[in-house]
Copies of this chain bind each other. A is one copy, B any other.
Amino acid sequence: MEQRLAELKARLAEINDLGKTAALLGWDQRVFMPPAGGGVRAEQLATISRIVHERFTDPEVGRLLDELQPYGESLPYDSDDASLIRTTRHDFEKAVRVPADLRVELSRAASHGYDAWHEARATNNAEFLRPHLERNLELRHRYVECFAPYDDPYDVLLDDYERGMKTSEVAAVFDELKPALKAIVADVAEREPVDTSFLEGDFPAEQQKEFALRVLEMLGFDRTAWRFDETAHPFASSMGIDDIRLTGRYDAARFGEGLFAAMHEFGHGAYEHGVDKALDRTPLARGVSMALHESQSRLWENLVGRSRPFWRHFYSQLQEVFPVFGGVDEAAFYRAVNAVKPSLIRVEADQVTYSLHIILRFELEREMLGGLDLRELPQIWNQRMSDYLGIDVPDDAHGVLQDVHWGSGSLGYFPTYALGNVVSLQIWERLAADLPDIEDQFARGEFGQLMTWLREHLYRHGRKFTPAETLEQVTGSGLDAAPYLRYLRRKVEEIYGTSDPSSTPAAVG
């Protein structure tokens, strides 16, 4: 059995090496590759992806898994080896269901759809994207059929990002969030707006980057195992547990997004870097799901980076870097970076409105899968933006065409962003209970206990357990929107209330 297990591990290590190699090809493509290299790079990525699929769906992998199943079940459930066998079997059973030619078609359509989306957005022409969207949906239906029977076709798509999550669970959470968030938005609309004018001005990118890096280094970024480069659309990637790549972008006319995006990507990186090193080069060596991953990017971005004690520590340093903030007191700055204001673009949305952008997309994805006439998509989008957020969409580039996902064939991904918000607060309430002085620590510039807690309770496990098991272990419960809503209501009260926020209790915990 040990020899069988060693053979399985050797195969999986090779597959993992190939996957991480693809991650490097993708990182380089987005960060450093000269533009003329794009054609050949797409071929290289396709080749690696094909070989990964071939090697993973090799019948010998199935035989090894069959032979190892009783052995895996004889081991403690939480042992690395039992988890490896169990998780790999799940992955294998999914992988072998999809015929190779469908995979190729999905990948090709995604690639063409991505190009078409670029063109459509640039020319503000949703009709140009429509045939690609139709093709993507047709292929997604074929993909879904590979996994029949299912309760809801959307379950199949969701499962690729959030293993085991049911559409009905997501819908239940969103049904609770939607009216509550709309109410908060309406409440804020009646209050005195927060002054954010001083966040606009002259903030050279180089200085923003230096400040962001200084912050990240206090949080745990370490040059021996991390990089931080610039790119057009920031993302985080990992070539190994000890090789974490973050990327950022800075708007020289505005302070805020650059830093918070950096902290967001840091959260993703911290999760990947915190996986137990014994799991490196296995399929367990990454975050367990997109929602759990997003919970960590949101946690570091919002619950750390937009917290009052965080700025108690860093604001004087920021004032040194950007003397213009010398005339802005800490409380006013804190309010500004927590302002709530409905806006057109999801990726620029505040903490309250963000999840409404997602709920809109989740609803439309289910409707598209149900046969919605795609010619009506822009109009429905615009109507709902008006209904949920009270704003008018001036054109499709700032509406239905703003995100890359649908053009490139990703359906089922969006909900995980909002679930990440929800989960981030579930986790935060637990850790704040364990570490009652955590915010005092932030005010002293200490973030080590936070990181240690997250590694111990979440990061180190990687994909050893299912997302639901992982969530249960770290929070003691299933999905629960209550902590997120409690947090938002308290935060809005703090930011928009009449009292001085410096005298209110800490935002959460």
A residues lining the B interface (CB < 8 Å): 13-14, 17-18, 20-21, 24-25, 28, 32-37, 39-41, 43-44, 47-48, 50-51, 223-227, 239-244, 280-281
A239 to B242, CA, bound (A): 25
Known: A24-B24, A24-B25, A34-B242. A40 touches B225 (CB 8 A): no
Report the minimum CB–CB distance from A283 to chain B (whole Å): 15
CB-based contact B17/A47 at 8 Å? yes
Known: A40-B239, A41-B240, A243-B40. A48 touches B33 (CB 8 A): no
A13 proximity list for chain B (CB < 8 A): 43, 47
Within 8 Å by CB of A48, from B21, B36, B280, lies: B21
CB-based contact A242/B24 at 8 Å? no
Within 8 Å by CB of A47, from B14, B223, B227, lies: B14
CB-based contact A25/B21 at 8 Å? yes
A170 to B223, CA, bound (A): 47
A43 proximity list for chain B (CB < 8 A): 13, 17, 281
CB-based contact A37/B281 at 8 Å? no
15 further interface pairs, Cβ-Cβ under 8 Å (given A34-B243, A39-B242): A13-B43, A14-B50, A18-B51, A20-B44, A21-B21, A24-B25, A34-B225, A34-B227, A37-B239, A37-B243, A39-B240, A40-B240, A40-B281, A41-B239, A44-B239
CB-based contact B227/A36 at 8 Å? no
A25 proximity list for chain B (CB < 8 A): 21, 24
A50 proximity list for chain B (CB < 8 A): 14
Report the minimum CB–CB distance from A151 to chain B (whole Å): 39
**Contact sample, A vs B, 8 pairs, CB 8 Å cutoff:** A14-B50, A20-B44, A21-B25, A24-B25, A34-B242, A37-B240, A41-B240, A44-B239
Within 8 Å by CB of A24, from B28, B36, B225, B241, lies: B28
A33 proximity list for chain B (CB < 8 A): 239, 243
Report the minimum CB–CB distance from A206 to chain B (whole Å): 14
Interface of chain A, helix or strand or loop or mixed? helix
Q: Indicate how many identical chains form the complex.
A: 2
Known: A34-B224, A223-B34, A224-B35. A280 touches B40 (CB 8 A): yes
Report the minimum CB–CB distance from A269 to chain B (whole Å): 11
Known: A224-B35, A280-B40. A47 touches B18 (CB 8 A): yes
Report the minimum CB–CB distance from A242 to chain B (whole Å): 4
Residue of A39, A224, A225 most packed against chain B (CB within 10 A) = A39
CB-based contact A48/B17 at 8 Å? yes
A226 proximity list for chain B (CB < 8 A): 34
Within 8 Å by CB of A36, from B14, B224, B281, lies: B224
A506 to B17, CA, bound (A): 54
Report the minimum CB–CB distance from A282 to chain B (whole Å): 12
CB-based contact B32/A227 at 8 Å? yes
Q: Which residue of B lies closest to A242 (CB)?
A: B36
A39 to B243, CA, bound (A): 10
A18 to B51, CA, bound (A): 10
A281 proximity list for chain B (CB < 8 A): 40, 43
Report the minimum CB–CB distance from A235 to chain B (whole Å): 16
Report the minimum CB–CB distance from A475 to chain B (whole Å): 31
A51 to B18, CA, bound (A): 10
